[in-house]
């Protein structure tokens, strides 16, 4: 699969029938921990994060951490 066109929204969403299988193919075969991190590579971790964000939405994700850190990360993108 080439570059992934994520459709991450504020609210989570279900995948359409057309995209569900392509999304499923992005998941690692199994969940493993390697050197204190889940999955084997940053690519696998980012794919899983993207998949989860599509399903749960950004509004839920930002509740998991310190709002100041989220704001600083966004400011870093804009600056």
| Residue 22 pLDDT grade (very low, low, confident, very high; cuts 50, 70, 90) | very high
Burial 14-28 (b: 16+ CB within 10 A, else e): eeeeeeeeebeeeee
For residue 7, being part of any structural domain is answered with no
Terminal CA-to-CA distance of the chain, rounded, Å?
Answer: 32
| Residue 1 pLDDT grade (very low, low, confident, very high; cuts 50, 70, 90) | very low
| Residue 2 pLDDT grade (very low, low, confident, very high; cuts 50, 70, 90) | low
| Domain of residue 41, residue span | 17-78
Contact 50, 9 (CB under 8 A): no
Within 8 A by CB and 6+ apart from 70, the residues are: 62
Tally of structural domains, the chain: 1
Can you list the alpha helix ranges (DSSP code H) found in 1-79?
17-24, 42-56, 58-61, 67-78
Per-residue pLDDT at 12: 97
For residue 54, being part of any structural domain is answered with yes
């Amino acid at each position: 699969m080439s570059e992934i066109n994520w459709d991450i929204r504020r609210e989570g969403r279900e995948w359409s029938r057309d995209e569900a299988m392509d999304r499923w193919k992005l998941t690692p075969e199994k969940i493993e921990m390697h050197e204190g991190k889940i999955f084997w590579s940053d690519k696998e971790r980012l794919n899983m994060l993207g998949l989860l964000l599509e399903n749960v939405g950004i509004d839920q994700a930002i509740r998991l951490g310190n709002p100041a850190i989220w704001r600083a990360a966004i400011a870093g993108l804009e600056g």
